[in-house]
Structure 1
Amino acid sequence: MGIYLSKRAIWSGLSLFLLVVMVFFMARLTGSPADLYLPIDAPTSMREEFSRLHGFDQPVYVQFFDFLRGLVTLDFGQSLRQGRPALALVLEAMPTTLLLALWSITAALMIAIVTGALAAWRPNSVFDRIATLLSLIGASLPNFWIAIVGVLVFAVGLRLVPTSGTGSVSQWILPVAVLAIRPCGLLVQVARSSMISVLSSAYVKTARAKGARGRRIIFVHALRNAMLPVVTVAGDQAAGIINGAVIVETIFGFPGIGKLMIDSITYRDFAVIQAGVMVTAIAIFMLNVGIDIVYAVLDPRIRVN
């Protein structure tokens, strides 16, 4: 297991480095930050002084090597917009995004596992048909559309929840629901399909023959063996939730990494963009490692091999 995780770390580190390099050069294709931070009629001398103070007067390859030297010590530079270390800003915003993603994927998993297992217990029943229909609809809806409709209906129309903010539990309900709907729809389908396959296996038939009740068969005998495909898809969806938080945080005014990245791209705050991509990629790598560990816990054959 240790050798496997070490190999994963090496390949993930290489992918992370290539990603950061690509972001470095692509960010500079958007233009000079001086066009945003200085007046339109600013003289050339003022623009040159601004570029000199922030290192933009150097050739791109020189800026890149300076960036690599700072990357070794996790020094991404100062934020142009806020005048603070870029990494500090990202680390302040990241917990909000991770908490939002954690609540969303937890809610999606709990609902999907129970719904998919019950639907698989009686295939083609009324409950199964309704669950399948609703899950397909949920899996097909984009996050931004769900968020806008949710604000119009539940926040503006019915006034059940606030439109934005993070100060109270009620302000988290709508963002969590928006991010959980699509993963929940996908996971219901995966859980249902996996449970149908497991429920037809020999050991489940033996448990039925011995008089085990339906609830015990579903949640004790069958569910654990049906969880591997669910965990696989849940891991992909959790990474997608972190990425999808960019839209949801912008709509609901959440002070997370997504909103910070959008603001940084808008204001050409290169240091914050680079730090944000780095921290987000590391978080997704750690998530994948966690999924591998869960695999080993659920299926001892994976741990042995």
Structure 2
Amino acid sequence: MLIFLRRRLVSSAVPLAFVVLGVFCLARLTGNPVNLYLPLSATPEQRAAFSAEHGFDQSIPAQLWDYLGQVVRLGFGESLRTGESAADMALTAFPATLQLAAVTMLIAVLGAILIGSLAAYRPNSLADRTASFLSMSAASIPDFWFAITGVLIFGVSLGVLPTSGVVGGPEVWVLPVATLLIRPFGVLVQVVRGSMVAALSAPYAKVARSKGASEKRVVFGHALRNATTPVLTVAGDLTIGLVNGAVVVETIFGWPGIGKLMIDSILQRDFAVLQAAVLLTAVTIFALNILIDVCYALLDPRVRQAVPA
């Protein structure tokens, strides 16, 4: 297992290095912050002083060298907007994204296991066909369309749910979670149903029935346990997608997470905050990938046995 983990850590180092370089280059493509933070009437001396204060008067290679030094020291400078530490701003915003993703995936996994298992118990029944139709429809709906429609119906027309922010009770979670939930839930129902159909027709399920095991025990005790491996893999990938793709939802609903922080930093050309937010997200995604692979290797010994010494 240690060899497997070491190999995954080494293989993740190269793409992470590309992320570090890529975010530096792409941030500079958004434009010169001097033009945004100083008025049009600013004198050349004022523009030069602003550039010198924040290091924009240096050459791009020199700025890159300073940036790499900050990455090594885990310090990303200060925000141009607020003067706060860029790393502290990213770390403050990130828990809101993780909470949103965790709640969404918990509901998606539990609901998909229940509905997918019930659908697989009687293949081609009305319940199975209904679950398949609804899950495939859910997996096909764009999240931004669902979010805007939810705001229009439940926020504007009916006025029963808040449309932005996190101030209030549980109702502030409904629209953001529902928007993030719909696609993972649809995908997971299909995965659970397919895995459970195969598991329920496997020889060990037939042996369990012949020994007098109840259908409940066969479904949730034998079949579900053996069907968890593909479900875990897909759920892990979907979780990574939620962390990486929460930008749209956080922007629409004003959720104070890392995605909204990225968008605000791009619009404000706040390079330090943008670099800290993107790198923190990238490290989290790589860590989640490694955790998923480790869990997969624990469930399936063939994975770690295939890793050369």
Q: TM-score scaled by structure 1?
A: 0.96
The answer as to whether partners of 1:225 and 1:298 remain within 8 angstroms in 2 is no
Instruction: Give the 5 Å matches for 1:91-110.
Output: 91-110=91-110
Does the aligned pair in 2 maintain the 1:138–1:185 contact within 8 Å?
yes
**Greater mean deviation of Cα atoms: 94-103 or 285-294:** 285-294
Shift of 1:122: 0.8
Deviates more, 1:90-99 or 1:153-162: 153-162
Instruction: Report if the CA contact (8 A) 1:23-1:274 is conserved.
Output: yes
What is the RMSD computed on CA atoms of the aligned residues?
1.4
1:273-288 equivalences under 5 Å are: 273-288=274-289
**Paired residue for 1:114?**
114
Paired letter, 2:45 = S
Which residue of structure 1 lines up, in the alignment, with residue 246 of structure 2?
245
Structure 2 CA distance for aligned equivalents of residues 68 and 146 of structure 1: 40
Q: Is the 8 A contact 2:4 2:304 kept in 1?
A: no
1:246 maps to amino acid: V
1:129 CA displacement: 0.6
Map of 2:180 onto structure 1? 179
CA apart distance, 1:276: 0.7
Matching residue of 1:257: 258
Partner of 2:237: 236
Structure 1 residue identity aligned to 2:220: F
Write the letter of the residue equivalent to 2:145: W
* CA deviation vs aligned residue, 1:13-47 (integer Å, no higher than 9, x gap): 22111111011011112210011111123222221
Contact 1:253 1:259 in 2 (8 A): yes
2:116 aligned partner, one-letter code: G
**1:50 matched to which residue of 2?**
50
CA contact (8 A) 1:97 1:256 kept: yes
- Amino-acid identity (%): 54
Aligned to 2:291: 290
In 2, are the aligned partners of 1:165 and 1:253 still within 8 Å (CA)? yes
Q: Does the residue aligned with 1:124 lie in a helix, a strand or coil?
A: coil
Whether 1:25 aligns to 2:25 is: yes
Instruction: Name the counterpart of 1:196.
Output: 197
Given residue 32 of structure 1, which amino acid in structure 2 is its aligned partner?
Answer: N
The 5 A counterparts of 1:39-188 are 39-167=39-167, 168-188=169-189
Structure 2: distance between partners of 1:171 and 1:259: 16
Amino acid at match of 1:56: F
The DSSP-based 3-state class of the residue aligned with 2:227 is helix
Cα distance in 2 between the residues matched to 1:298 and 1:153: 44
* Structure 1 residue 304: Cα displacement: 6.0
- CA contact under 8 A between 1:224 and 1:298: conserved in structure 2? no
Size of the aligned set, in residue pairs, is 305
Gaps of 5+ in 2: none
**Does structure 1 retain, via aligned residues, the 8 Å contact 2:5–2:294?**
no
CA distances 1:232-284 after superposition (whole Å, capped 9, x unpaired): 11111101111221111111111110110000000111111111111101111
The residue type paired with residue 66 of structure 2 is D
Q: Would the aligned equivalents of 2:96 and 2:257 in 1 still touch at CA under 8 Å? A: yes
CA distance in 1, matches of 2:157, 2:129: 31
Q: Aligned partner of 1:103: which letter?
A: V
Equivalent residue runs for 1:209-220 within 5 Å: 209-220=210-221
- Equivalent residue of 1:150, what SS? helix
Q: Which runs of 5+ in 1 are unaligned?
A: none
TM-score between both structures, scaled by the size of structure 2: 0.95
Q: Distance in 1 between matches of 2:17 and 2:258?
A: 20
Indicate the SS of the match to 1:58. coil
Q: CA deviation at 1:117?
A: 1.1
2:123 partner letter? P
Contact 2:296/2:303 (CA < 8 Å) preserved in 1?
yes
Residues of 2 paired with 1:266 and 1:149: CA distance? Answer: 25
Write the distance in 1 (CA, Å) between the matches of 2:88 and 2:13. 22
Partner amino acid, structure 2, of 1:239:
I
More off after superposition, 285-294 vs 213-222? 285-294
